[in-house]
Amino acid sequence: MTWVSARHHRGVRIYVCSTLEPGRLLTEELYRFDFNGKNHDELEAVMNSEPILEEILIKRSQQKKRTSPLNYKERLFVLTKTRLTYYDGSPEKKTKKGSVDLQKIKCVEIVKNGGAIIPCVNKYPFQVVYDASILYIFAPSNERRSVWVQNMKEEIKQNPSVVAKFHPQFWQEGVWLCCRQVEKLALGCEEYNLFGDISRKPLPPIPGNETIGKGRRPAPPPPPQGNEEKNSTEETKEEIVIALYDFEGKEAQDLTLVKGEEYVIVEKSDVNWYKAQNKYGEEGYVPSNYVAEKELGHIDQYVWYCKNVNRNQAEQLLRNEDKEGGFMVRDSSSPGAFTVSLYTKSAGEGGSSIRHYHIKETQSVPKLFYLAEKHHFSTIPELIEYHQHNAAGLVARLRYPVGKSGTSAPSTAGFSYEKWEINPSDLTFMKELGSGQYGVVRLGKWRAQHKVAIKAIREGAMYEEDFIEEAKVMMKLSHPKLVQLYGVCTQQRPIYIVTEFMELGCLLNYIRQRRGSFSTGTLLGITQDISEGMEYLEKNGFIHRDLAARNCLVNDSLMVKVSDFGMARYVLDDQYTSSVGMKFPVKWSPPEVFNFCKYSSKSDVWSFGVLMWEVFTEGRMPFEQNANHEVVMMVSQGHRLYRPKKATANIYDIMQLCWSEKTEDRPTFAQISVMISDALEGDS
């Protein structure tokens, strides 16, 4: 035995010796002693307690049923050879909050976010699965996340309980976002690779080394060195966009957009805000829904394309314009497909008509687009240009584009990137619009130019502190069919909530005041707008909890948007309180809510069915002859609302699906949107 070296570690001298065994490579073995003759186990414990990694990260609460910024806490994480421990406080002064035995860990992997909103500063999640629990941890960068995941994988690689499959997305609000399973312990839906790094491209094998170590588990690949990542095609490819609307930067960090001009995307900082560069080299933040990628055939930039218009709305717009050959291109009910809606006055007998033509695609490679069999085109803009000069089988030429021209720009998620606190001095208060459970709502202007609705929250009307934190998340929810939350004023009382202004007000009042004037198509179009807004909330794991006609608003383009999503949790109002103290609107609630207070996107689906009933009865109160306790009894016994006169059998079928007793039998909002679109397109 030959002693090769000796070093000190925490007062322990560690001796390293080399041995050469017949038929084996030279190996190093450690023989540990200290000056006081401590035994091997004591020294092993000293070595195992040495930190491998130590960093302040963000942890999501494992106990809370709902996702809120309040459930995301900074913690000091320390990884050793045996445990992952997290503390409250700094490395110098810390309080232990919890720890996980590494031998119990079944999986460590990154979480694919899928575009959902992460309500904390750190945007790079990974998961630690152990026993029957999941620990979600958020790192400040992809690199730091990769370091933690790969180091932990190295430490657990001998664990017998490592899973074969895992869930790549979050468990949130009682469902796996990746596969929609509702059992938390359900088998994973994606193969788990203990030795790979799915946040990076795999490195190629070293030539000639394919057989070395055969039969042994390979070590995790090292992270890329130097500028390897930056040199990849994806990293270096410049993304050029075209401004769809003018945008005047409100803050110093913003970049002004000019409609039609090109910009380079520097960084996609957020799903709602990009950092862009103009032709002068100036950089700043721009709203992501104000730009579209520049590519051959991209149609967002064209005046004839109406992205968020359904069949019924298209017909209304074309009739209002009343011009021969008036047309628009809109999204079809089938994802990724488009429809041309065309208005003609020469329909015979002096009447007008509207035809809807699906843009078809050939099966060839590359695919071609056509309306008439004999005339195929490489892009949709080329197709439209041809039919602007030739009817070629259509009832008329496409003479006059209707829709986007002259319409206002969409709402932005806040007035600027990461700006959610609004200075009250920037607000001008105008006429009162009404009052509700929260307080008075007024029309106002932000910085004397941008119309807004301002809700002054009556003192004692809601749990203010919880709501202020949740507002930061709600601001990031941005969709054409949601009323946009711009920000809040929290530095004084009363608190102000500043939202998008909707000119025609509450949907319930809107349909009651115009009762008798709606066609079935118009009413179906209203429900389609709402289902699309709810589909977006569903995708982002956000539960409304109070979906009803009173909580939807109508703008001057007759678009209906979902409002007050998630607010019911913070309201202090007897109307929303059951005998056991829980809050829910009974006549819109499913059995699992009034029996077990269990909320999910499927409880919102039940409420949507009741909302459809409200719309097709043109504003009647559901169960209007019954008190809340009677409704609970009736619904529990299988009683459902009757079919409204204006609802066809197909439409009533959708309502009844929403009212299925078992949550798993109810459709998702994505499925509901397709069903309503199919019903609207009907005879196209």
Per-residue pLDDT of 25-59, as tens digits, reads 333 344 444 444 555 555 566 667 789 999 999 99
Per-residue pLDDT at 578: 39
**Per DSSP, what are the bridge partners of residue 15?**
6, 31
CA–CA distances in Å: residue 608 to residues 259, 521, 588: 38, 18, 8
Strand 291-293 to 283-287 pairing: unpaired
Half-sphere exposure of 431 (CA within 13 A, CB side): 3
All residues at 6 or more sequence positions from 308 whose CB lies less than 8 Å from its CB, including other chains: 331, 480, 481, 532, 559
Phi, psi dihedrals of residue 370, rounded to the nearest 5°: -160, 155
Sequence-ordered list of residues with C-beta below 8 angstroms from that of 367, at least 6 positions apart, any chain: 361
Indicate the burial class of 436 (C-beta count within 10 angstroms; 0-12, 13-18, 19 or more): middle
Is residue 33 within 8 Å of 51, Cβ to Cβ? no
Instruction: Reduce the DSSP state of residue 608 to 3 states and report it.
Output: helix
How high is the pLDDT of residue 31?
Answer: 41
DSSP type of residue 490: -
Residue 558 DSSP one-character state = -
Q: Collapsing DSSP states into helix, strand and coil, what is residue 453?
A: strand
The reply to whether 546 belongs to the active site is yes
- The parts of the chain modelled with pLDDT lower than 50 are 1-36, 201-206, 208-218, 224-236, 405, 570-582, 683-684
Structure tokens at 483: 């009323």
Beta bridge partners of 101: 83
Q: CA-CA distance, 240 to 246, in Å (whole number)?
A: 17
Nearest in space to 352 (alpha carbons), one of 311, 315, 305: 315
Domains of the chain in sequence order: 2-47 (no CATH), 53-191 (2.30.29.30), 236-293 (2.30.30.40), 305-401 (3.30.505.10), 504-684 (1.10.510.10)
Please list, in sequence order, all residues whose beta carbon lies within 8 angstroms of the beta carbon of residue 621, skipping any fewer than 6 positions away: 587
Span 346-365, pLDDT tens digits: 766 567 889 999 999 988 88
Nearest to 380 by CA among 432, 415, 338: 338
User: Do the Cβ atoms of 44 and 106 come closer than 8 Å?
Assistant: no
Beta bridge partners of 176: 171
Residue 429 parent element (H or E): strand 427-435
User: For residue 258, what is the DSSP state?
Assistant: -
Query: Binding site annotation covers 455?
Result: yes
Reading the block at residue 638, the tokens are 């299988």
Q: What CA–CA distance (Å, rounded) separates 406 from 144?
A: 47
- Torsion angle of alpha carbons 285, 288, 289, 295, nearest 10°? 120
Cβ contact 647:604 at 8 Å = no
pLDDT tens per residue, range 173-189: 778 888 888 888 888 88
Evaluated on CA atoms 114, 116, 121, 125, the torsion sign reads negative
Give the number of residues written for the chain.
684
Please, what is the end-to-end C-alpha distance for the chain in angstroms?
Answer: 88
φ/ψ region of 426 (left if φ > 0, alpha if ψ in -120 to 50, else beta) reads: alpha
Q: Show the tokens assigned to 307.
A: 């992205």
Q: Distances from the Cα of 1 to the Cαs of 5, 38, 141, 151, 439, in angstroms?
A: 12, 21, 47, 33, 84
The one catalytic residue among 197, 254, 529, 546: 546
Q: Residue with structure tokens 């956000």?
A: 542
DSSP, res 404: S
pLDDT given at position 26? 38
3 state SS of 65: coil
Q: Are 333 and 678 in contact (CB under 8 A)?
A: yes
Residue 211 pLDDT:
42
pTM for the whole structure: 0.62
Residue 482 backbone phi and psi in degrees, to 5: -120, 140
Q: Would you state the pLDDT for residue 611? A: 98
**Among residues 670, 490, 469, 681, which one has the least CA distance to residue 566?**
469
Beta strand extents in 268-352 (DSSP E only) = 273-277, 283-287, 291-293, 305-306, 326-331, 338-344
How far are the Cα atoms of 409, 519, 618 from residue 647, in angstroms, in the given order? 34, 10, 11
- The CA–CA distances, whole Å, from 465 to 19, 460, 485, 573 equal 66, 12, 17, 17
Q: Please name the residues in contact with 307: beta carbons below 8 A apart, sequence gap of 6 or more.
A: 300, 330, 331, 480
